[in-house]
Structure 1
Amino acid sequence: MKIAVLVPAYNEENQIRNTIKGIMNIPYDIDLFVIDDGSTDNTVKYVQEFKNVNLLTYGANKGKGFALNFGLKKVIGNYDIIGFLDGDIGETSSEAEKLIKPILYDKIDVTIAQFPSAKKKGGFGFVKRLSFSGIKYFTGKEIYSGLSGQRFFKKEVLEIIEEIPFGYGVEVGMTIDILKKGFTIKEVPVVMTHNETGRNISGFIHRFKQFYHIILILIKKALKN
């Protein structure tokens, strides 16, 4: 089966090379696409160092949801399995092998990476509880990793779900759409790391944006019902 991995990246010069190297260590034949979301640092330069990586660009920063939709339009018709991995997970991106196996061998439609507990204190769990409660309310299913952006899909899933939501509610919105369509999701424990937000001003601003965007997604879905 043909596998593509999409990596949306915005100002990820510190980790993008390691993320690419980790993906290259996965023992499957993978076509890698990095979607630059208007980076102003050396992200594009570092991606171009890898001759077998496809770089997709469109100019200004438009957010993760836009980047994923942009990338999907380029690959959806040519691959059987498509994965989303964030640009900041470094060489732990090689753990994505664990996300591919259940789709190849266990008849699972979608896998989501279940990260280990955070090493430093972040928020107070409001965003995670909102994610869990929102998904359960609309689908009846309990998904504990609804905020995780590390996911792999059978092509058929991405072909029939609604357009990937924009903003910080992208993962929650996708999870609800997937489950409502009757597809199977498996949460897979992985040993991945990413840039964690702490209990500081920038961290709280990030979590507020997440909370706000998820609320907007849930309201939008409630109005459709």
Structure 2
Amino acid sequence: MTQTKNKVSCIIAAYNEGPRIGAVLDAISNNSLIDEIIVVNDGSKDNTQAVVEQYSKIQLISHSENKGKTFAVMTGLSQAKSNIILLLDADLVDLNNRDIENLIRPVFSGQVNASMSICRNSLLPYKMLGIDFASGQRVFHKKIIPDLEVLSHLPKYGLEVFINSIIIKNNLKLKIVNWNTVVAIRKSQKVGWWYGTLGEIKMTFQVVATIPLPKLLFQIGYLKSLSVK
């Protein structure tokens, strides 16, 4: 697929995010830095698809069954026409144009090769370290993942640490962007404490399945060393 330089494709993977995704789409749909928005409806059983269909400029791709975030993002990447990729979660609260531009511009301008956010409600250890290694809000050049097929072999929640490993392997400059007002909704707030906690535990195990804990700790430290102010 022909790439267009200096343009941004935003990819959002969504599963049962009908009550929340509209606010995210409202925040980004008129952003002048974003040329293309792709939402991958990953087998949602609620009204996610109906909500997205209200936005005429957004490309909607629907999976017939839930395949997990990593596969959904892979689907979006396969259709993205731009050379710069913006990944966003579908459940962000209080997202605005300033936050988006602060995340995109360091990569768009060439200051760094990748960026990631740290949200207002990121876990305390992440805030103390000044980096959320599992952040779903990222900007990077599409070319850093030349073979999208490799994503199909990752666990459902292995995408972020995989991208981290690429950043480290290639010593890519990284910008950590503080989103002081943006909140990422916890699973427990969506499906209740019990199922939400089980979901968080499952996600943690899948992250560890992607990268052993000692290497994960090394990854966090190395990412910090690559970050620029």
TM-score, normalised to structure 1, is 0.79
Write the distance in 2 (CA, Å) between the matches of 1:184 and 1:5.
Answer: 21
Q: Distance in 2 between matches of 1:143 and 1:218?
A: 21
For residues 88 and 119 of structure 2, what CA distance do their matches in structure 1 show? 13
Taking every aligned residue pair, what percent have the same amino acid on both sides? 25
**Which residue in 2 is equivalent to 1:74?**
79
* 1:17 and 1:90 in contact (8 A); partners too: no
Q: Following TM superposition, by how much is the alpha carbon of 1:219 offset from its aligned partner in structure 2, in angstroms?
A: 4.1
Picking from 171, 180, 193, the partner of 1:182 is 171
CA deviation vs aligned residue, 1:163-216 (integer Å, no higher than 9, x gap): 333322321222122211222222111132121245932332122112211211
Deviation at 1:97, TM superposition (A): 1.4
Aligned AA (2:168)? L
1:162 and 1:51 map into 2 onto residues whose CA distance is 30
Q: Deviations over 1:87-139 (max 9, x none)?
A: 11145153221111101224311100111245xxx8x96xx6xxxxxxxxxxx
Quickly say closer, same or farther: Cα 1:74–1:144, change in 2 above 3 A. Answer: same
Q: How many residues align?
A: 203
Alignment of 1:113-128 (within 5 A): 113-117=117-121
- Superposed, 1:5-154 pairs within 5 Å as 5-75=10-80, 78-92=81-95, 94=97, 95-117=99-121, 144-154=131-141
Equivalent pair of 2:74/2:148 in contact (CA under 8 Å):
no
- Which residue is equivalent to 1:163? 150
Distance 1:192 1:116 in 2: 6
**Structure 1 residues 70 and 162: alpha-carbon distance in aligned structure 2, compared to 1, 3 A threshold:** closer
**Cα offset for 1:37?**
0.1
| Gap runs ≥5 in structure 1 | 129-141
The two structures, once aligned, show a CA RMSD in angstroms of 2.9
Residue deviations 1:18-59, cap 9 Å, x none?
111101242324210000100111100111111111001121
Alpha-carbon shift at residue 217 of structure 1 (Å)? 0.8
Structure-2 residue corresponding to 1:201: 194
Q: Find the aligned partners of 1:70 and 1:158 in 2 and give their Cα distance.
A: 13
The answer to whether the 8 A contact 1:82-1:155 is kept is yes
Structure 2, unaligned runs of 5 or more: 1-5, 216-229
Equivalent-residue separation in structure 2 for 1:40 and 1:93 (angstroms): 28
Q: Which runs of 4+ in 1 moved over 3 A?
A: 197-200, 219-222
| CA-to-aligned-CA distance 1:144-166 (integer Å, 9 cap, x gap) | 21111000112222336883333
